[in-house]
Amino acid sequence: MARPQRWSTPFGEEMTDGDVESLLKRPDIAAIEADNFPKHTPLSGVLRNDTRIVRYRSGDIVVREGDYGNSAFLVMNGSLRVVLAPELPQNLLGRQVAREKGFFEALAQLWTNSRVPEVRDISRYESQGLRGGVDSANARVFLQDVPAVLDEHRTAKLEDGALFGELAALGRVPRTATIFAEEDATLLEIRWQGLRELRKYDEGWRRMIDQRYRENALKAHLQESVMFSRLDEESLQAVADKVLFETYGSFDWNVAFQRQRQSGSGKEPIIARQGEYPDGVLMIRAGFARVSVKHGNGERTLTYLGAGNSFGLGELYSAWKNPDIQEMALHTSLSALGYVDILRVPAPVLEEHVFPFMEPPTSTTMDIAGTPVADDALMEWAVEERFVNATRAMVIDLERCVRCDDCVRACASTHGGNPRFRRHGRTFDNMMVANACMHCADPVCMIGCPTGAIHRSVEHGTVIINDITCIGCATCANSCPYSNIAMVAIRNQDGETITDPDSGKPIFKATKCDFCEGQPGGPACVRACPHDALKRVHFQELNPSETAQ
Amino acid sequence: MITDPDRFKQDKSPYERPNFPYRCGRIGLWSKPCGRGPSSEGACGGVADCRPFLDNGRWSCRRSSRSGGVCEEGPKPDGTCSHQHPPCKPMLSLRGYRGRLTFLAAALVIALISAFAFYGGGASAISSVDPGQLSGGHENFTAKKGCATCHTPHGSDPVGWFKASWSPGSLSQACESCHAFSGPATAPHNEQFKSAGAQKATECTMCHTEHKGMGEKITQMSDSQCSACHEKQFKSFSQGHPNFSKDYPSRRRTAIAFDHTSHLTKHFENKRFVDKAPKDRCISCHNVTKASRNVPVRPFEESCARCHESQISKRELVLFTLPEFEENPFDMEAVGEACGPTAEAREAAGDQFADLTEKLANLASGGANPVAAAALQAELAALKGQLGFGELPDSGEEYESVSTETLPPTATFLLGLEDGEDVEAYSEPVRDLIMGTIENGHEALLAALKGRGDANTLLNDLSPELLRGIGCAWAGNVEYEAPTDAVSGGWFADALSLRYRPLRHADPVAKAWINLAAVGGEGVTDELRDMLLSRSEGPGACTKCHSVSQVAAKSEKLSIEWAFGGQSKQRHLNYSHGPHLNLLGPGASCQSCHKLNQKADYAAAFKQQDPLKFESNFNSIENETCTTCHAKGQVRQECTLCHEYHNGNKFKRRMTTTNAKH
Amino acid sequence: MIRPMTLPFIVLGLATFALVAWYSRVVGMQLGNPAIVTGYTLFVLMILLGLFNMRKRLSMVPVGRSSLWLAFHVVAGVLAIAMFWLHTGALWPTGLYEQVLAALFYLVSITGIFGYLILRALPRRLTQTGIEVIYERIPAELGEIRDKVEALTLECTEKTGSDTVAQHYIGTLNWFFRRPRFGFSHIVGGDAAGHWLRGPGSAARRYLNDVEKGYFDQILELGTLKTQIDRHYACQDLMKKWLLLHVPLSISVILLSVWHLLLVNVYAL
């Protein structure tokens, strides 16, 4: 078989040149200056391969709040509604458990699993051909009684030309709202690679995306924060108008991180410095930031902040409450761990719209500084190793683990006879974070996948790889800062390595833990550990100041 | 590798596959495995590092990065890899090895079981069915047939096995081929209890478990095994055992009416008998050397005779009294013929008669001269006539009977009459009997008693001379004159009666007559019974001591308890005085258990004939009597110490004989 | 140090034992055969214990967490020993077959208890080495270290022209680096390997110049690393190899029990 090339698996298989032509005639597309695009990725190519036209009927749900998605939508015609509050009930959203294997289907793996490592049935690749990047289903869920929903829920209207989903697609955060079609609508779905190209090469789109963000998603985002949840529409708008967007760190932070690990040194971009005067509260939109304080001749990590956390609120609030006190400098520093999206809410806005109506912040990060250094050595280590990114890290208690490899065998038994993690990894005290996919909050592995084979499971938010569309380019494996994706040379049933007939080089596939997607009973490794030594850990549970402001 | 900081990188650390059975053989040599690894069948993955690829006519290296990437040398011109290494012999993983070991172990076990399953019938053979050595006794009996002696399915085919597993109780049947009991083998206690409801069948193996080794006492039982069935549950003998029955251990009055109270407190203390009273109290009479369940009493001669023997001979039995007749019933001629001259006539004849008689006797014994004999006979006949034989009494003289008595019950019994006062009724039978005794001695009496008791014993030692003597006298209506040298005991006669005086204790004649009266039967009248069983007169005095008991409740039949019986043995109960006496010292402490009950009216029980109505001389023995010693922490007190489960436990004859052969 | 999830099983085990002991006593009181009650309980226990092995093969289906199974396995194992004694009424039976069965049962029990103890004790010791190494990779790691040591030895010889280090390697150190050593000491927590390295292993050091000492100290450092790997090998090896006894013995006991059960049903019931 031939090695797939970039765009050989277009996002929409039915996109025709005609479609591209007519798209280019749309005013919002026509405004894009095609000349700014490099030769290897022309605008038409982006439209041709990174977008697809999808149609929704009235009531169809387009995106669901809490879903992970990696594409943005441009409304071509029709109108959509974004549900602001209250949330739609889960059953209306049509949420259900992804089709899991039945008991006997799962049991059948006992004899269907291969004794030869990494066996693939190549006919599957041929018969499936090269499908579009994401593994999206064509089935839709629709709302039966749209007027009732409109009656009972506060909604905002999205009309022709509206772009949505770009924040989720670019920031790799879950969808913040549910959007459904109010009447029949046609949407242009742009996968995040395409969106990235458009935002990268077109200044208009960059502004537009930011603007759209400010107009549409920002308020909902602000409303999610405790600070702004009580504001009325008018005040919220006032706040939204004044909020500033900032990004710190490189988009490909993992590369810098790996380099830093090898060289042993590296500077994290400082977002706010201890001792400086804050001019506003910093809200983390995406990514992770380290909260630190000077300790001896170094910086002591107190905690880290993830999406939704904010920084500097305590200091600003006390300064507002006690205007006589001159000391309002920041007690801690904030630095970017990789790529961080920040919303800076200026102090005057807060003083006008927020502080008079809010309860005083209960705890501050400074509270943590009172504990001995040894107590948060674990935190320091987790931040240093960027394990804070993990939502499902495999942590093994080495004082319980008898090294029996039951977890590895269990993993193999649920993955066609092949383990999907390696029972080694970085250790701290008696904890070992094994080389198993952590299903990161900020999954850098998904950056750069040319076909979108690596994606988030819509149902579970786990990061999974579609073996069929994986082209074995190893981009994800190399991106993963934790070395948790492994490339394997695939074999046929006879155990012979499958090679590309043109080059004689073996065909590789990226493999990793899929958190036993589709297997009944959750991750087999946890179930298989006889000593309860192995756990899948969300690192925020180790964070003592998760709720700290 | 551990020295490499980048060792976790995916391209340096491939997946470990502990689920695969084979590992590169180089591991066994403590060195690095090759990049390819063995096949799933355990063959070496290959001797070359890569398979070169023909690229536009040129071979190019395709060594994987894991094996070191593209090599400098490149493939050989013929397209083979230049990095060849000797093949390894892949080794099984530890798990694979474990799997094989497990399989081997299972196979070995099955093989050994099969190999030894049915081998050897003998008990000593090694067999996988061997459940352990039998107890000593059984070990010998099963030597010949082996397991099949008891286990019928042994040696049979699977069908037999299958059937056997659904047929319980076959073991008990096997036991019964040697063991037998007086009752049903699988009934509890081998008894058919009347009061119990539906009885569950018992199996021998419920209590007796075998195959516990040669020395195992399989008959030893625990108390809990007994209490398994018994409704009344209690902890131990000393704690909760039901009370002994009232009057225990007496269940009936004693055979000998020996009033312990009066003897011990009155008679033995009496100064008159001080030289005769026993010196050692209880054990003077009770023979402790023979103590078992009972402590038997020494014989009469040793125990009672000193005081009571003299009384025995005073008790006479009147067998017959000549009754009064209204007229002479006898044919005097016949009497004369039978009896010969009367005493006076003989005296008158004097020496002549005696001389003649002597001559006649000599002739009869050795004489050969018939002429002389005939002459003598004639002479004798003349003499007889002279002496008045055959002479009728003077018919004119009025008959006056010498006796004015009536017939005693013994006589009416003898004659088969209803009463002894009807002169007309008895005259003829009496005459016939007397004439019979004159002519045939006691044969006549034996004939009269025929069919009614043991006539020989009843009339033991009764001499024909005596009978003839009294017969002739009474037939002649004269009083019998007994010879002056009268015997001290036995049969004798006075003027008008025939009597028996017991010779000693347990005199058979006296016993026979008393038994006759006790048993009753044809012709035994109440008068006869009253006479013979009277405690105040005659031979009935025996019953002063030997109790007279009804054979069964409401039965007319009586029996005389001639022998000391002790208390009858109860089934399932085992008590022995022996160990107690040995422990406590002979005799010294009988009364520590058997306490005299001085208030008891012991004698009253013997005035009637129901043996179960009685009052014992002794206080009944209570549980406490035993539990002072038999209690927890002291002397043994398990059930089987006193109780015996089985009823009539014995071996079948067949078993003992067949085994005697080898 | 009982893990919380074991507690319910302990309670359940004690309850089961009490129930069976009580019931077998009741049966005995009724002149039934208590050995049937205890025997079948024991047999069921053995099967359940054996199922733990099956559970390990069935990781792909949700049949209960393995840790729960292990907790059950441990408690049921101890219960089985108690049940065994209840069943036989003695420590040692009389029949040859039963003796074989009992001997194997005791062996399984002993290996099980031994296994449990080492599985609780040794992981700590491994963690304290500060390194972590996968059992299957130990030969490769040793091979790597040996290669490095031999390379250092060669380099030292080439650089200094003196073969003192090489001689010492051939004469003494080679023995140490060839394969895992001092296994028993590692298992019981001794430091025989370190002692050896400081003693005979370092004996040649006094005959070296500074350059040679540099190489030699690197070699000894690798020796220390190897000691830690040896410790991993010794402990992990024991934690795996006890099962080589436990599992085959278990299957033997179960098979023997089946035959025993069959015989009892055919012969004695």
- Report pLDDT for C182: 94
List, as ranges, residues 186-225 from B with C-beta within 8 Å of C.
202, 205-207, 211-213, 216, 224-225
Nearest Cα of chain B lies from the Cα of A503 at a distance, in angstroms, of 7
Query: Which of B63-77, B82-96, B335-349 holds the top average pLDDT?
Result: B82-96
Residue C38 predicted with pLDDT over 80: yes
Report how far apart, in Å, the C-alpha atoms of A497 and of each of A120, A488, B64, B185 are.
10, 10, 11, 80
Token pair for residue A192?
């995040």
Contact C70, C52 (CB under 8 A): yes
Sort out which chain A residues have CB atoms less than 8 A from B10's CB and list them.
435, 477, 480, 483-487
Mean pLDDT for chain A overall? 79
- Report pLDDT for A4: 36
> Would you tell me how many other CB atoms lie within 10 Å of the CB of residue A114?
16
Nearest to B94 among C96, C240, C249 (CB): C240
Predicted confidence band of residue B64 (pLDDT cuts 50, 70, 90): confident
SS3 per residue for chain C: CCCCCHHHHHHHHHHHHHHHHHHHHHHHHCCCCHHHHHHHHHHHHHHHHHHHHHHHHCCCCCCCCHHHHHHHHHHHHHHHHHHHHHHHCCCCCCCHHHHHHHHHHHHHHHHHHHHHHHHHHHHHHHHHCCCCCCHHHHHHHHHHHHHHHHHHHHHHHHHHCCCHHHHHHHHHHHHHHHCCCCHHHHHHCCCHHHHHHHCHHHHHHHHCCHHHHHHHHHHHHHHHHHHHHHHHHHHHHHHHHHHHHHHHHHHHHHHHHHHHHHHHHHHHC
- Report pLDDT for B493: 85
Chains A–C, number of C-beta pairs less than 8 Å apart: 84
Predicted confidence band of residue B392 (pLDDT cuts 50, 70, 90): very low
Q: Which residue of C has its CA nearest to B171?
A: C268
Predicted confidence band of residue A135 (pLDDT cuts 50, 70, 90): very low
User: Cβ separation of B98 and C255 shorter than 8 Å?
Assistant: no
User: Locate tokens 């060849």: which residue?
Assistant: B84
Residue A196 predicted with pLDDT over 50: yes
Identify the DSSP state of A216. I
- Which of C26, C30, C94 best probes binding to B when mutated, by most B CB atoms within 10 angstroms? C94
- Report pLDDT for C116: 94
Helix (H, G, I), strand (E, B) or coil at B200: coil
Sort out which chain C residues have CB atoms less than 8 A from A106's CB and list them.
60-61
Nearest Cα of chain B lies from the Cα of C239 at a distance, in angstroms, of 11
Task: For residue A543, give the nearest of A359, A332, A390 by alpha carbon.
Answer: A390
User: Cβ separation of B8 and A425 shorter than 8 Å?
Assistant: yes
The verdict on ipTM greater than 0.90 is: yes
Planar angle of CA C158, C162, C168, nearest 5 degrees = 105
User: Cβ separation of C136 and B27 shorter than 8 Å?
Assistant: yes
Average pLDDT over residues B346-353: 62
Chains touching chain A through at least 3 C-beta pairs below 8 angstroms are B, C
Token pair for residue B216?
């195992």
- Report pLDDT for A95: 41
Interface contact A414, partner C, CB < 8 A? yes
Give percent of chain A above pLDDT 70: 83
- Which of A399, A402, A411, A423 best probes binding to C when mutated, by most C CB atoms within 10 angstroms? A402
Average pLDDT over residues B386-409: 66
Nearest to B101 among C93, C179, C248 (CB): C248
Nearest Cα of chain B lies from the Cα of C200 at a distance, in angstroms, of 23
Sort out which chain A residues have CB atoms less than 8 A from C123's CB and list them.
398-403, 533
List, as ranges, residues 124-153 from C with C-beta within 8 Å of A.
124, 126-127, 132-135
User: Cβ separation of B13 and A435 shorter than 8 Å?
Assistant: yes
Instruction: List, in sequence order, every residue forming a beta bridge with B596; answer none if it has no partner.
Output: B618
User: Cβ separation of A432 and C132 shorter than 8 Å?
Assistant: yes
Nearest to A529 among C60, C67, C123 (CB): C67
Q: What confidence tens digit (pLDDT) does each residue in C186-219 have?
A: 999 999 999 999 999 999 999 999 999 999 999 9
- Report pLDDT for A211: 76
Average pLDDT over residues A97-119: 81
Residue B581 predicted with pLDDT over 50: yes
Interface contact C241, partner A, CB < 8 A? no
- Residue with more model confidence, B235 or C185: C185
Q: What confidence tens digit (pLDDT) does each residue in A20-56 have?
A: 888 888 888 888 888 888 887 888 888 888 888 888 8
Contact A498, A491 (CB under 8 A): yes
Cα A58 to the center of its chain, rounded Å: 29
Q: What confidence tens digit (pLDDT) does each residue in C47-71 have?
A: 999 999 999 888 888 888 999 999 9
Beta strand A393-397 with A534-537 is antiparallel
- Report pLDDT for B584: 66
User: Cβ separation of C243 and B16 shorter than 8 Å?
Assistant: no
Predicted confidence band of residue B633 (pLDDT cuts 50, 70, 90): confident
Sort out which chain B residues have CB atoms less than 8 A from A396's CB and list them.
none
Burial class of B648 by CB neighbour count within 10 A (0 to 12, 13 to 18, 19+): exposed
Average pLDDT over residues B222-247: 83
Contact A11, A479 (CB under 8 A): no
Average pLDDT over residues A123-140: 46
Cα A438 to the center of its chain, rounded Å: 12
Q: Comparing A439-443, B330-334, B484-488, which segment has the lowest mean pLDDT?
A: B484-488
Q: Which residue of A has its CA nearest to B9?
A: A483
Nearest to C61 among A107, A406, A430 (CB): A107
User: Cβ separation of C132 and A398 shorter than 8 Å?
Assistant: yes
Q: What confidence tens digit (pLDDT) does each residue in B134-148 have?
A: 887 787 777 777 778
- Report pLDDT for A433: 93
Q: What confidence tens digit (pLDDT) does each residue in B107-124 have?
A: 999 998 888 776 554 445
Contact A249, A337 (CB under 8 A): yes
Sort out which chain A residues have CB atoms less than 8 A from C56's CB and list them.
406, 409, 528
Contact A337, A289 (CB under 8 A): yes
Residue B608 predicted with pLDDT over 80: yes
Nearest to A486 among B10, B40, B62 (CB): B10
Q: Which residue of B has its CA nearest to C247?
A: B102
Interface contact B233, partner C, CB < 8 A? no
Give the C-alpha separation, C20 to C41, whole Å.
Answer: 8
Give percent of chain B above pLDDT 70: 86
Predicted confidence band of residue B551 (pLDDT cuts 50, 70, 90): confident
The full set of domains in chain A, from first to last, is: 17-94+141-224 (2.60.120.10), 245-370 (2.60.120.10), 386-542 (3.30.70.20)
Cα B456 to the center of its chain, rounded Å: 34
Interface contact B79, partner A, CB < 8 A? no
Amino acid (one-letter) located at A336: A
Sort out which chain C residues have CB atoms less than 8 A from B29's CB and list them.
139
User: Locate tokens 């023909």: which residue?
Assistant: B54
Mean pLDDT for chain B overall? 80
Average pLDDT over residues B447-454: 78
User: Cβ separation of A519 and C236 shorter than 8 Å?
Assistant: no
- Residue with more model confidence, B252 or C227: C227
- Report pLDDT for B123: 46
Sort out which chain C residues have CB atoms less than 8 A from A404's CB and list them.
239-240
Helix (H, G, I), strand (E, B) or coil at B23: strand
Sort out which chain C residues have CB atoms less than 8 A from A532's CB and list them.
3, 5, 65, 67
Nearest to B109 among C29, C255, C267 (CB): C255
Sort out which chain A residues have CB atoms less than 8 A from C134's CB and list them.
403, 423-424
Planar angle of CA B81, B85, B87, nearest 5 degrees = 115
Interface contact A395, partner C, CB < 8 A? no
- Report pLDDT for B655: 52
Residue B100 predicted with pLDDT over 80: yes
Predicted confidence band of residue C146 (pLDDT cuts 50, 70, 90): very high
- Report pLDDT for B395: 47
Nearest Cα of chain C lies from the Cα of B213 at a distance, in angstroms, of 6
Give the C-alpha separation, A187 to A209, whole Å.
Answer: 16
Nearest to B17 among A419, A424, A489 (CB): A419
Amino acid (one-letter) located at B435: M
The structural domains of chain B, with segments of one domain joined by +, span 317-336+401-560, 341-387
Give the C-alpha separation, A187 to A78, whole Å.
Answer: 9
Residue C12 predicted with pLDDT over 70: yes
Token pair for residue C178?
């060839």
Sort out which chain C residues have CB atoms less than 8 A from B26's CB and list them.
139, 143
Give the C-alpha separation, A447 to A339, whole Å.
Answer: 12
Nearest to B132 among C32, C94, C225 (CB): C94
- Which of C3, C5, C57, C60 best probes binding to A when mutated, by most A CB atoms within 10 angstroms? C60
Contact B258, B545 (CB under 8 A): yes
Question: What are the counts of helices (DSSP H) followed by strands (DSSP E) for chain B?
Answer: 26, 11
Q: What confidence tens digit (pLDDT) does each residue in B509-528 have?
A: 888 888 888 888 777 888 88
Residue C181 predicted with pLDDT over 90: yes
